[in-house]
Homo-oligomer: A and B are copies of this chain.
Amino acid sequence: MSHIRGRLNKAVDKLVNKYTASIPFDWRLYQHDIAGSIAHAKMLARQGIIAPKEAESIVSGLKAIKDEIEQGKFQFKPELEDIHLNIEAGLMDKIGEAGGKLHTARSRNDQVALDLRMWAKEAIAETRNKLRGLQRALLDLAEANKEVAMPGYTHLQPAQPVLLAHHLLAYFEMLQRDIDRFGDCLKRTDVMPLGSGALAGVGYNIDREFLAGELGFSEISQNSLDAISDRDFVIEYEAAASLGMMHLSRLAEEIILWSSAEFNFIELDDAYATTSSIMPQKKNPDVAELVRGKTGRLYGHLTAMLTTMKALPLAYNRDMQEDKEGFFDSADTLLATLEVVTGIIKTIRVKKENMKQATQRGYLLATDLADYLVGKGEPFRSAHNIMGKLVSYAVQRGKALNELSLAEYKQFSPLFGEDAKSITTETSIAARDNTGGTAPKQVNKALARARKIVSGGS
């Protein structure tokens, strides 16, 4: 703390002030800081630690400051270092000596822990909402394209035909885990630290449950040393956000691939594409590329905060001031990314015919033909070998499987009959008829389940 100089006899060096000041980023906590201070002042009065008049004066002073901030009239001073001291100094300017009583039974250590938890709770709620919004967009797109078939890929090679809706629902599942994960993170964030003081608790008869109630917390912290040195909730958010962003990077990669001239499965809306400063023909999926690129950013913030917290002795150390910028940026980036990806999904044009044609490439039905042989009594492992040879034969002749004659099939196994030729993309898809499979029946069930999830709660 540079402003309050306590026992120190010299002003802080200017460079030092700049180096240590957090006001350039922690001003974002002003609402939470003020709400926390109002609750604290009320509590102090209820407990007889300050006079009711003093509390009233503090509360109205703080409300006035909030208005000033929101109207852009409040003057933040870097030499006052952080949001807490800026507001406290503003309060003393406004209401005089009573303002000096607000910091009774409180330290910046528990104050900042409170503010950041309040901010985190809101960020979690908003993140879960936007995850839900993207789920909705994916579900809408899936429902609108229920019948569309496409190649399923493994190793980016055509593997087996699937429904596009099934593919989209895979992302629905990922996002559902994200929603649940942020929900779990919330449990450990929703703990009220005020009353922990600098590190040891406070020497006043305070009422922590009242504070928790006023501020909408479910629990109060159980150990003051831990409460002021715990930033698990920041790291846990950043880890969940990294996972979520990883999911979005996979979707972005597919949007980029599918928009390529070679795949040509989708077309982005012009409002979600950009062109080039030099190449007039370009329609680039920049937004999806940035989604993919910004994944590094979130991983970086996670790495940063884990590194910062490593091996810090108890309790508060100034290193922990590094908790905010990366956290804010992780949340900002994830939220903005969810919004733009939702926008892309809502406006994407699916080129059904191209997807369908692509299912003709790559011998997608080979597994079904192996299964066909299994149905005729061949063990799967040898059926697989037979089909391997059959595909190799077709590749060498540059033919698709359905361009081979039954006689050619029979060269590889006498078990092949006419009905082998009736295996199609449609029968292949329909055959995968167990929970989680791509058969239309299963996909319809999954769509209904997903609709229920997005309509009700998580």
Contacts and interface: CB of A to CB of B under 8 A. Distances in A.
A78 interface: no
Given A98-B379, A156-B256, A197-B278, 9 more contacts: A5-B270, A6-B392, A12-B271, A20-B274, A208-B434, A222-B435, A236-B243, A254-B314, A296-B303
A252 interface: yes
Interface of A is mostly: helix
Given A201-B437, A380-B100, A293 B280 contact: no
A381 B92 contact: yes
Contacts of A367: 198, 203, 278-281
A436 B340 contact: no
Interface string A270-289: 11111111111111111101
A222 B220 CA distance: 37
A144 interface: no
Contacts of A101: 379-381
A208 B435 CA distance: 8
By size class, the interface of chain A is 35 or more
B177 A188 contact: yes
A73 interface: no
Most central of A13, A199, A239 by chain B CB within 10 Å = A199
B314 A224 contact: no
Contact of A8 (B161, B221, B273): B273
Contacts of A263: 262
A321 interface: yes
Interface string A378-420: 0111101111111110010000000000000000000000000
Contacts of A120: none
B157 A284 contact: yes
**Nearest 10 CB-CB pairs, A to B?**
A201-B437, A293-B319, A300-B304, A201-B432, A6-B275, A296-B307, A6-B388, A100-B381, A100-B379, A281-B363
Most central of A11, A309, A319, A336 by chain B CB within 10 Å = A319
B7 A280 contact: yes
B11 A271 contact: yes
A195 interface: yes
Contact of A433 (B180, B201, B261, B287): B201
Interface stretch (A27-35, A61-69, A121-129, A167-175): A167-175
Given A224-B437, A261-B361, A304-B296, A155 B284 contact: yes
A136 interface: no
